Copies of this chain bind each other. A is one copy, B any other.
Amino acid sequence: MKTTTLKLVTIIAEDDIEARLVRDLKELGVKGYTIVNVRGEGLHGARDNAWEGENIRLETLVSSELADKLFEFLHSTYFPRYLMVVYMENVEVIRAEKFL
């Protein structure tokens, strides 16, 4: 069966920016995503409790080009102001045309 390689982009962020983040991702071309609440700690180690407690983990499947665009956008627009972890990886997807 034919599969397509896409980028799975994961964003871990504070839950109070969820609405803004989703709106921005959609404007950049994201068509689907899932969100789950997570707990955790640690962006700033012992010096900062901001990440203790409820955060969100958002995942979206996008083309390699859109993944790069998201990375540039998040790095320039969100990273100066918000605590956030962003990473991507390759995954093999069934019926990938839905996400492109």
Contact = CB atoms under 8 A, between A and B. Distances in A.
Interface residues of A, number: 43
Interface string A21-47: 000000000111111111111110100
Contacts of A72: 1
A74 B95 CA distance: 11
Interface in A45-84: 45, 51, 55, 57, 61, 68, 71-72, 74-75, 79
Closest 3 interchain pairs by CB? A32-B42, A34-B40, A34-B38
Interface of A: 1, 3, 6, 8, 10, 12, 30-43, 45, 51, 55, 57, 61, 68, 71-72, 74-75, 79, 85-95, 98
